[in-house]
Structure 1
């Protein structure tokens, strides 16, 4: 079974063993469906714990886990990643993609020149920026309709407007 990361345990919360989880997904409602918390370290599942209760608190989720009944035990989970089974993700519209689907795609400009490979993205507040590994440097480009012109699922490539490309060497 394959998983994606949807959150990170930041710390314990209170005295009864709750953990404070920062969601890192555009679909935080996924947390409300969790019955089991799959936890990983560096992408490898290391633990699964049954969820007793989930509630929101500011931008975090507070999660009470079975058999975690004190602050000290909950604190040992800090830094672990919350994983979600890919096959349970909501279906997206035709022109929408999950990040794991496009990582590794090749990036070309409108003239057909190879720029590099899509390796990462960053949330920039209002939009996300794609990070591209070129032959000699890394580039960033904002993921918007003026810069990312086409996402070709069949050929696994992005066509971009070079005007939006910024070298990290600056």
Structure 2
């Protein structure tokens, strides 16, 4: 995947029989996903002109210009939707796109390496950094809060963490 692409949503399946799809938005303001249209697939080879029709539980009903049947909509289930970085708003200094955090090295406040960010997860309460420690078979979920992660340095590709006692 290109660093130029940011995942802003996913197609979760067909809606009805006329080619409409269910879309889950990952944007801070969920309806903003439409403003980044046309969206592209992860490989950048497919383009989707997305138009939101109405909100629904956990997302939106949307129309994609090239999709006319339920079968075509079903075939798109699970497709992630990406916007080009230049289409997205610039973030304040203390906010980050998930994709920018993945792969960063994590150190504690004393400089000891804790691991590397494998993914960023959010199960409803707050963001969690999934950290894979060198030589470990499991990962650790570190709360992505100002207290637990006081420093994110994207240019140096590192995070300084002050994890809760006993986490690592």
TM-score (norm 1): 0.84
- Relative to structure 1, the CA distance from residue 165 to residue 44 in structure 2 (aligned partners, 3 Å threshold; closer, same or farther) is farther
- Which has the larger displacement, 117-126 or 19-28? 19-28
Structure having the larger proportion of residues in strand: 1
2:19 to 13, 17, 20: 17
- Which has the larger displacement, 154-163 or 16-25? 154-163
Q: Post-superposition shift, 1:164?
A: 5.5
Equivalent residue, structure 2, for 1:70: 69
Unaligned runs of 5+ in 1: none
- Relative to structure 1, the CA distance from residue 112 to residue 89 in structure 2 (aligned partners, 3 Å threshold; closer, same or farther) is same
- Relative to structure 1, the CA distance from residue 37 to residue 154 in structure 2 (aligned partners, 3 Å threshold; closer, same or farther) is closer
Q: Post-superposition shift, 1:31?
A: 1.4
Unaligned runs of 5+ in 2: none
Q: Post-superposition shift, 1:159?
A: 1.2
Matched position secondary structure for 1:163: coil
CA RMSD for the aligned pairs?
2.1
Contact 2:11 2:78 in 1 (8 A): yes
Contact 1:141 1:164 in 2 (8 A): no
- Relative to structure 1, the CA distance from residue 64 to residue 116 in structure 2 (aligned partners, 3 Å threshold; closer, same or farther) is same
Q: Post-superposition shift, 1:27?
A: 4.0
TM-score (norm 2): 0.85
Runs of 4+ deviating beyond 6 Å: none
Equivalent residue, structure 2, for 1:133: 132
Matched position secondary structure for 1:30: helix
Distance 2:66 2:123 in 1: 38
Contact 1:142 1:164 in 2 (8 A): no
**How many residue pairs get matched?**
164
**Superposition map of 1:146-165 within 5 A:** 146-163=147-164
